[in-house]
Amino acid sequence: MRRNRAIFCVLLLTVFLGFLASLCLGASGLSPRDVLGALLDADRESPASRIFWYVRLPRALAAVLAGAALSTAGMLLQSVLRNPLAAPSVIGINSGAGLCALICMAFFPSFPRLIPFAAFLGACLAAFSVYLLARLTGASRATIVLSGVAVNAIFGAVMDAIVTLIPDAITGRSAFSIGGFANTTLAQLGFAAPLCALALLTALLFGRELGVMELGDDVAHGLGLKVECWRAIFLVAAAMLAGCAVSFAGLLSFVGLIAPHLARLLCRREEHLRMPIAALTGAALCLVCDLLARLLFAPYELPVGVVLSLLGAPFFLYLLLIRRRQSRHDAT
Amino acid sequence: MLAFDRLRAGYSGIEKLHDLSFELSEGKLTAIIGPNGCGKSTLLKCAAKLMEPMGGAILLDGNPLSEYDERERARRVSYMPQSRLVPDTSVRHLVSHGRYPYMGWGRGLNREDREIIDEALRRTGLASYAQRGVRELSGGERQRAYLAMMLAQQAKLMLLDEPTTYLDLSNQFALMKLLRELCAEGRGVAVVMHDLALALESADEVLLMRDGALAAAGSPEAVYKSGAIEAVFNVRIRRAADGKYVFYANE
């Protein structure tokens, strides 16, 4: 108990320090005093203020919000689908969100406020498609991942077709597909944040239902949980989180896979702390990877999606390798 | 308490249970026995409202089971399925899930809940394991942890599907002793069992099933004397002088 609370505090501190570092470090360095000055500068006219308000702050906030959202979405999906490989990018939810966001950008360019909602709808469409496919064919772990591969391929192909036919649909096509926070604006975050907050609150408040659901459908039903209803609520919450993250950060991979597993490793046996720890782990991971992306080859920057993929792909392989060993412990 | 009236049920339109009529009563331990695939687990699933019947009726305290809200039903009937997942949580937290049907909007545990959880852990011999992870336990200990969760649920009727699986002999006896104690306190317990001797020696009533129908029902003595067990399982039974049942395979 004490250990898990200590981990929670350390993560909170990491996010805070990472956020500060994200505000200060980059191609043009800002001292903490510059940051404080910019924060109090109402006119936002000085170079330091402009860097702070239009580059660093949106970027740091985007890293925190996307990390927390994708990690929580991954945790929800892994619990609801009872599949350790389920993550928004693996099972096609990010692609669904990306496709609908792209359609919105292509056909309704003057309505940027619609993008998070479109991404949410796309994420829902993908989540329920994968769930129904897996349910129809037996819902095994491999089926869910393979269904995700199919859904990813379909949505990816449609996205490519749209971008080819309507080249102006999106600026920075590769930045969108790899994912990153460099081009995020405060306005974009403002559109996505309320939906994100609602879904995060749902995940945090209904941890008991998620814990009961992790016992399996029959046991959960025996305890009086309306299993299908709660599964739908959590899938919608996961889709909202992933959709919001995609709407401003593009198709970021692996955050929703790595961070929940790190959270499970850090927080053993205490379900009620797992969700906040997952959210903080995701935020810390995105902040650290974004800092690495901008500092490793400074003054050149890597998209943060590249750093996350370099970390995430080996982690995914590791999970595949230990899957057999884990499955032996999954049922008594 | 839970009455089945000409119950018919099955999967994908194929009927597995045919016109079953009987009642599970308070204060009685009912053993449900029968060969593999005869519908024992299907019967428990219907009783726990996990499956909708294809026909007939299930009445809980005189009212149709279908009319009960999920949480209201869970306060009256608890269910432990045959196979269970092993969550990455502590034993105490797992047992606390047994209080879910009673929780308010805050989903928190009050003092009474905590006392009930402590009592469930004590009765299942898991008090000293409370803070350990469920994944660190042996198969038998995990079984007891799930049973403790059921105890915390405090339902008047407990349905258990093959609870003696994974238990060694002494733990099987300990489990049946605990179930008998619960019956003595007024709870009804229905258990799907494969150990016929243990069923005949421990139960107040025996339901013998074959091909989705009742082959015999009544006291262990009556079911034994009916010869139905020998016919259904194709075995011979003798009762020894000490009251124990001995089974022989037919040549």
Of A206, A208, A269, the CB nearest to B133: A269
What domain range is A162 assigned to? Answer: 2-166+174-325
Smallest CA–CA distance, residue B72 to chain A, in Å, is 8
Beta strands B29-33 and B188-192 are: parallel
Is A332 within the bounds of a domain?
Answer: no
Per-residue DSSP letter, A332? -
Q: Is the CB of B236 inside 8 Å of chain A's CB atoms?
A: no
Is A107 within the bounds of a domain?
Answer: yes
User: What percent of chain A stands above pLDDT 90?
Assistant: 23
The pLDDT value given to residue B188: 95
The Cα B163–Cα B167 span in angstroms is 8
What domain range is B227 assigned to? Answer: 2-249
Mean pLDDT of chain B: 90
Q: Count CB neighbours of A317 within 10 A.
A: 10
Q: Which residues of B touch A269 (CB under 8 A)?
A: 88-90, 93, 131, 133
The pLDDT value given to residue B251: 66
The Cα B49–Cα A61 span in angstroms is 47
The pLDDT value given to residue A84: 79
Q: Which residues of A touch B94 (CB under 8 A)?
A: 215
Q: Is the CB of B84 inside 8 Å of chain A's CB atoms?
A: yes
How far, rounded to the nearest angstrom, does the alpha carbon of residue A133 sit from its chain's CA centroid? 23
The residue written with tokens 């499970």 in the block is A264
Residue B88: CATH number of its domain? 3.40.50.300
Is A293 within the bounds of a domain?
Answer: yes
Cβ distance of B90 and A214 shorter than 8 Å:
no
Quickly state the pLDDT bin for A306 (edges 50, 70, 90).
confident
Taking only the tens place, the pLDDT of each residue in B66-125 is 999 999 999 999 999 988 888 888 999 999 999 999 998 777 889 999 999 999 999 999
Per-residue DSSP letter, B211? T
**Distances, alpha carbon A174 to alpha carbons A67, A99, A178, A230, A321, in Å:** 20, 14, 6, 37, 31
Q: Is the CB of B98 inside 8 Å of chain A's CB atoms?
A: yes
Q: Is the CB of A226 inside 8 Å of chain B's CB atoms?
A: yes
The pLDDT value given to residue B1: 83
From B204, B222, B208, select the one nearest B39 (Cα to Cα). B208
Lowest mean pLDDT among A5-19, A178-192, A226-240, B200-214: A178-192
Residue B187 has pLDDT above 90, yes or no: yes
- The count of domains in chain A is 1
Quickly state the pLDDT bin for A331 (edges 50, 70, 90).
very low
Residue B30 has pLDDT above 90, yes or no: yes
Residue A332 has pLDDT above 60, yes or no: no
**Distances, alpha carbon A51 to alpha carbons A29, A45, A56, B119, B227, in Å:** 10, 10, 6, 61, 89
The pLDDT value given to residue A38: 77
Q: A196, A135 in Cβ contact below 8 A?
A: no
Q: Which residues of A touch B50 (CB under 8 A)?
A: 218, 221-222
Identify residue A6 by its one-letter amino acid code.
A
Q: B152, B95 in Cβ contact below 8 A?
A: yes
The pLDDT value given to residue A164: 84
First to last CA, chain A: 26
Q: Token pair for residue A31?
A: 């001292």
Q: A277, A62 in Cβ contact below 8 A?
A: no
Residue A263's SS3 state is helix
Lowest mean pLDDT among A48-52, A69-73, B33-37: A48-52
Identify residue A97 by its one-letter amino acid code.
A
The pLDDT value given to residue A175: 66
Q: Which residues of A touch B73 (CB under 8 A)?
A: 224
Q: Which residues of A touch B103 (CB under 8 A)?
A: 208
The Cα A114–Cα B118 span in angstroms is 52
User: What percent of chain A stands above pLDDT 70?
Assistant: 91
Greater model confidence, A275 or A133:
A275
Residue A326 has pLDDT above 70, yes or no: no
Q: Is the CB of B99 inside 8 Å of chain A's CB atoms?
A: no
Q: Which of residues 254-313 of A touch B (CB under 8 A)?
A: 264, 268-272
Taking only the tens place, the pLDDT of each residue in A145-201 is 777 788 888 888 888 888 888 877 766 566 677 777 887 888 888 888 998 999 999
Mean pLDDT of chain A: 83
Residue A34: CATH number of its domain? 1.10.3470.10
A74 forms bridges with which residues in the sheet? none
The Cα B170–Cα B47 span in angstroms is 29
The Cα B108–Cα B99 span in angstroms is 10
A–B interface: beta-carbon pairs under 8 A: 97
Residue A44 has pLDDT above 80, yes or no: no
Residue B7's SS3 state is strand
Quickly state the pLDDT bin for B126 (edges 50, 70, 90).
very high
Quickly state the pLDDT bin for A286 (edges 50, 70, 90).
very high
Q: Token pair for residue A110?
A: 């003057």
The pLDDT value given to residue A171: 65
Residue A314 has pLDDT above 80, yes or no: yes
Smallest CA–CA distance, residue A39 to chain B, in Å, is 38
Quickly state the pLDDT bin for B179 (edges 50, 70, 90).
very high
Is A250 within the bounds of a domain?
Answer: yes
Residue A198's SS3 state is helix
Q: Count CB neighbours of B194 within 10 A.
A: 14
Q: Who's near A172: CB < 8 A, 6+ residues apart?
A: A183
Q: Token pair for residue A91?
A: 């099972």
Cβ neighbourhood burial of A41 (10 Å; 0-12, 13-18, 19+) = middle
Lowest mean pLDDT among A140-149, A152-161, A207-216, A232-241: A140-149
Q: Who's near A104: CB < 8 A, 6+ residues apart?
A: A111, A114, A115, A118, A119
- The count of domains in chain B is 1
Is A309 within the bounds of a domain?
Answer: yes
The Cα B197–Cα B23 span in angstroms is 23
The pLDDT value given to residue A140: 57
Q: Is the CB of B73 inside 8 Å of chain A's CB atoms?
A: yes
Q: Token pair for residue B62?
A: 């005189």
